[in-house]
Structure 1
């Protein structure tokens, strides 16, 4: 009986020591831990340049509510502002203005407009995919409309791009 109790005590002690040793051991850092540490220490990982235009200053240049359409601002941050265009409570398009010079890590964001033959309101424009049209104002600001509904066509996007205060954006 004493041998039996001694075995139980020794087994309990061994399990306790094992748990203590494994709980206090430090795991080797993974590649994800190292990447997280590096990215949080970098100051250059910013997505927007310090001199980018504040998004709130773009709001006054968006077209207002017109003929059954409602404009609802959805996002504004440094270098960018966005609004949804609704008709009958349904999202039909997304309108946005972005400061292309405020974008870090992109060689020349306005390069896509350089060889454009399309002009809207006197500014170079491009069609991006099937659902987006953008134009470049003052070699700096991209004004873009993306359709969210099949009823909002390319000609609708071009007409709404002309409704932005493009001359005002150019003076920023």
Structure 2
């Protein structure tokens, strides 16, 4: 009877040694870990420029709630603010203001614009977005419902305080 008991003890000791040696060995970093370390060290090319306007500064330029419409702010960060436009509890559109300092290419699409809304260059982006450039700020209305047309988007862009936004520095 001593022999089977010795086997159990030996098996337990061997299992402990195997677990201890495998748990203590260092693992080589994966390719994802290396990319994460490299991107964390980058100082240039950050997503938001240091000179970008705080998102909270944009809130006062958004359209006020109108009869039957509700404006719900959903995101506010440096260089960007966004709100949902709702009617009867349904999302109709997304309203946003962004500082193009962080994305210089965003302003370039307005250079060939032949349309204006509220006196500012306007572009249609695909079938669902209408945008205007106000100084260094892009004001955008994005349809979230098929019933919210390009004409509706243009009307809501005009409801922003575009002239007030133009004075923001």
Normalization by structure 1: what TM-score?
0.87
Q: Which residue of 1 aligns with 2:75?
A: 75
How far, CA to CA, are the matches of 2:67 and 2:5 in structure 1? 89
Corresponding position: 1:153 with 2:149: yes
* Equivalenced residues, count: 168
CA distance in 1: counterparts of 2:89 and 2:61, whole angstroms = 23
Kindly report the root-mean-square deviation, in angstroms, between the aligned alpha carbons of the 2 structures.
Answer: 1.9
- The superposition leaves residues 44-83 of structure 1 with CA deviations (integer Å, 9 ceiling, x where unpaired) of 3531111111111111111111132121211111111111
| 1:14–1:166 CA distance, 2 compared to 1 (3 A) | same
Give the secondary structure class of the aligned counterpart of 1:110: helix
Residue 167, structure 1, aligned to residue 159, structure 2: no
Between 1:76-85 and 1:28-37, the stretch displaced more is 28-37
Kindly tell me: are residues 15 and 118 of structure 1, through their superposed partners in 2, closer, same or farther at Cα, counting changes over 3 Å?
A: same
Indicate how the Cα distance of structure 1 residues 89 and 6 shifts in structure 2: closer, same or farther if over 3 A, else same: closer
Partner of residue 112, structure 1 = 109
CA–CA distance in 2 between the matches of 1:152 and 1:10? Answer: 75
Once structures 1 and 2 are overlaid, which stretch shifts more, 35-44 or 82-91? 35-44
Mapping 1:9-158, distance limit 5 Å: 9-44=9-44, 46-101=46-101, 103=102, 106-138=103-135, 140-158=136-154
Contact 1:39 1:45 in 2 (8 A): no
| 3-state SS in 1 of match to 2:63 | coil
CA distance in 1, matches of 2:88, 2:19: 64
Rounded to whole Å, the distance in 2 between the matches of 1:164 and 1:115 is 23
- Aligned equivalents of 1:58, 1:10: Cα separation in 2: 71
Give the TM-score normalised by structure 2. 0.89
1-side partners of 2:93 and 2:77: how far apart?
Answer: 20
